[in-house]
Amino acid sequence: MSNLTRTPRNNELEIFRFFFICAIALMHFSNSYFHSCPYFSAAYIGTEYFFLMSGYMIMKAADLGKGSPFSFTFHRMKKLYPHYITGFILLFVLTLFVSHKEILEQIETLFGYGFELFFLHAVGLKGSGLLNYPTWYLSSMIVSGFFLFALVRLNRKLYLTIIAPLAVLVTYSFFSANVGHLDVWGGNQLLGISDALTRGFASLSLGALSYHLSQYIQNRNLQLGKHLRLLLSLLELCLLLGVLGACFVADAHTQYDFYFVFMMFVAITLSLSGLTDLKRVFSHPVFGFMGQISYPMYVYQLFIICLFCLLLPNLSYGSAAMVFLPTLTVFACVLYILFRYIKKRHSSHNAYNSTAP
């Protein structure tokens, strides 16, 4: 029986979520602003980190019995939607302002993004427009996560022993042999299915396997000496720093992508199995906060990139990067705090109404 007790937020993994978001944002910024990417060209690997973490949490939620696949997916969409739709609206208004389109053209353009409004733009539907393109990951996570959750609830053992390992092996082998890397999110198909979905399902499944393995290790109640724990802690840190460093200096679009994914798998499993002590080092709440603002940073990055291209088009690489990242971080922080405040006020108002005579 798995140990399903709730654990506090792992700030160590949260801070690396923030670091990978920063790397991805800089990659997108460089490609859009300079049409080249001298650094962080392999930062797309960080997306796999988010998939692995999401797969872990989806598997945990399925084991905890959190509703049906539909209710679980709806709850996740509801949680993500405020920042998601805000990012979409900001970007849509900005593009309309720049393009000077007529009203009818604007309405027609908006209808073209209909699938994106409902997290469906990564499923490969024909005619689906794409405005905030980094959010393909969210679409893939939502849709693939639905099927993962359903499969676990239907037959947990079959999923963990057959489906999940097979999905990882077949998908990664296909991309390795036919594409040569993992930076795929809509241009290739596996058995007629969008590569964004197959990539998402495989990486979520790897995260689910990380959950299963970490629970197995926890249930064995291993008593490790402090020197061995220190060694494992250093291994975990080196693995995560190694992948982060590879995002900065490694050549993009190579077979090394698949090695980096399994390095993250080992690091996450070590951390969440309780075999390491790095969470003590990152116990300060500020590290958790940095992880929490990583999602707003992700959905607002393209809006800030477009603003820079429009308002500050002639910056050097160093100056642009030094200004862009703090701007994105502050913007995400402000909106994160604003939405938290609105949610708190809404909850307080509902609580008052429920107790009023």
pLDDT digit string, tens, across residues 183-204: 988 766 666 678 899 999 999 9
301 touches 25 (CB < 8 A): yes
Determine what percent of the chain is predicted with pLDDT higher than 70: 92
Stronger pLDDT, 99 or 142, i.e. the higher one: 142
Residue 208 has pLDDT above 90, yes or no: yes
Q: Which residues pair with 184 in a beta bridge?
A: none
Determine what percent of the chain is predicted with pLDDT higher than 90: 67
DSSP H or E run through 116? helix 114-117
**Cα atoms in the 13 Å half-sphere on the side-chain side of 346:** 6
Q: What is the pLDDT of residue 187?
A: 67
Write the CA distances from 289 to 12, 297, 333, integer angstroms: 11, 12, 9
Q: What is the separation of C-alpha 52 from the centre of its chain, rounded to a whole number of angstroms?
A: 8
Residue 3 has pLDDT above 70, yes or no: no
Q: What is the mean pLDDT of the chain?
A: 89
| Best mean pLDDT range from 99-113, 115-129, 141-155, 308-322 | 141-155
Measured between alpha carbons, how far is 346 from 343 in angstroms, rounded to an integer?
5
This prediction's pTM:
0.91
**What does the DSSP 8-state code read for residue 120?**
-
Write the CA distances from 201 to 30, 95, 168, 204, 242, integer angstroms: 28, 32, 8, 5, 25
Measured between alpha carbons, how far is 307 from 138 in angstroms, rounded to an integer?
23
